[in-house]
Structure 1
Amino acid sequence: MVEEIRAQGGQADFLAADLRDEASARDLARRAKGLVGEVDVLVNNAGMFPFGSTEETTEPDFDAVYALNVKVPYFLVAELAPDMARRGHGTIVNISTMVAEYGANGMGLYGSSKAALVLLTKSWAAEYGPKGVRVNVVSPGPTRTEGTAVMGDALDQLAATTPAGHPAAPREIADAIVFLASDRASFVHGAVLPVDGGRIAV
């Protein structure tokens, strides 16, 4: 991806990180600041989505999901949002999921972690919005990516429950993120933007 951006005349760098706790989140944020100086946009996109029954969930599985999906975004925001607030501008876009909005068999662990992120988004909007920092959520539906390839036919079956009837392409989710990160969304604070093929409507 970095090479593709550079080939098109853009500027891009890649920073590897094993995101699992406060220390790793703050370290990534500080390295990013050291590389580019001011960070104006944070997209909390890293996440994991194991599906399975409650009775089969182990404590290590539970902790890993909440560490990556909730704890890491929390401390990335804790590290970067105060700087944005001091400058009087900045944008944070958190990535949730449509299954944070309704109960789905086998998706309680994943969905609940993202539901926590939605509530944090609203809290951060209240905390940092008055200081010029906008915080919002994109809530995707089934999306065909390298990460979801392991779902096989289950992805298409899940997408079939939506009015769109098919999985999203990554660009369709990215366009929504770009919108919320841009000045075109300058009056949008604490919002959840569903990009789920209409699933929330049915």
Structure 2
Amino acid sequence: MERQFDGRTALVTGSTSGIGAEVARTLAARGALVVVSGRRAERGAAVVEEISARGGKAVFVPADLAAGGTAVRGLADAALAAAGGRLDILVNNAALLLTPSPTAEVDEETLDAAYAVSVKSAFQLTGALVPAMAARGSGAVVNMGSVTGTSGWANSALYSMTKAAVHSLTKSWAAEYGPHGVRVNAVAPGPTATEENLANADQLAPLLAGTPARRFGRLEDVAAAVAFLAGDEAAHIHGAILPVDGGFTAV
């Protein structure tokens, strides 16, 4: 695999499992020093150990993004320190795992936590870390959106709301930071082979049957798209929402 990120550093939020962990592994395999972040230290250590065993470089910084501003600012400072004082790539991947629920059954605690993790933390981390990229004239931000951010899904209004916000932020930040050399884009996965989705494969089968790909997306599919948008080959791409959904949104 081409080491296109040699000498660069990256922070991937929510990267102790699932898509985030695969993004961390992929960026590290391509040469980046990756700051792995999440709530569970044992999972973070496992991801770092796996990256190291493959010859990559990674460190773990714990963070509970649902805790709000102080925790987010602490992550920004700790990630910078772990990366040697410079971050080149920010992947805002963290999101709260939500069980599909009717809107009327979503309590305020869940509403606030979903917003804090999926939207507020991305907003605050970008505000804390990206101005330094802009001052240098280079950097990349990749946000984790979703097909639910562009289409309506019954009983998923909360998750869809947070992802629509992420899509909107992506375009606004592209306008804000693009003129200063920082590209901001997003990846919008469809149903992907995470542990949670595989556990509900029977329920999702009819949905997948209606897509051109006829299968779950692989974690590697999403991670490769993130790496592309973070890399120099995407130098003229700003504010894009790249669907990685097997054609779901196309048809």
* TM-score normalised by L of structure 1: 0.95
Q: How does 1:1-202 map to 2 (within 5 A)?
A: 1-20=47-66, 21-36=68-83, 37-50=85-98, 51-202=100-251
Number of equivalenced pairs: 202
Structure 2: unaligned runs, 5 residues or longer: 1-46
Structure showing the higher strand proportion among its residues: 2
Percentage identity across aligned positions? 48
TM-score w.r.t. structure 2 length?
0.77
1:141–1:159 Cα contact (<8 Å) kept: no
Per-residue displacement from partner, 1:56-89 (whole Å, max 9, x unpaired)? 1111111111111100100010111111011110
**Structure 1 contact 124–135 (Cα < 8 Å) conserved:** yes
The one-letter code sitting in structure 2 at the alignment partner of 1:186 is A
Once the 2 structures are TM-superposed, how far is the Cα of residue 194 of structure 1 from its aligned partner? Answer: 0.4
Distance in 2 (alpha carbons) for counterparts of 1:183 and 1:147: 33
Q: By how many angstroms is 1:156 displaced?
A: 3.3
**Inter-CA distance 147–29: structure 2 relative to 1 (3 Å threshold):** farther
C-alpha RMSD of matched pairs (Å): 1.3
Change (3 A) 1:13 1:109: same
Corresponding residue SS for 2:123: helix
**How far apart are the structure 1 equivalents of 2:133 and 2:190?**
30
The Cα offsets for residues 89-108 of structure 1, whole Å up to 9 and x where unpaired, read as 01000001101111111111
Equivalent position SS for 2:167:
helix
Deviation at 1:49, TM superposition (A): 3.9
- Distance in structure 1 (CA, Å) of the matches to 2:212 and 2:96: 25
- Residues 26 and 159 of structure 1, relative CA distance in 2, 3 Å threshold: farther
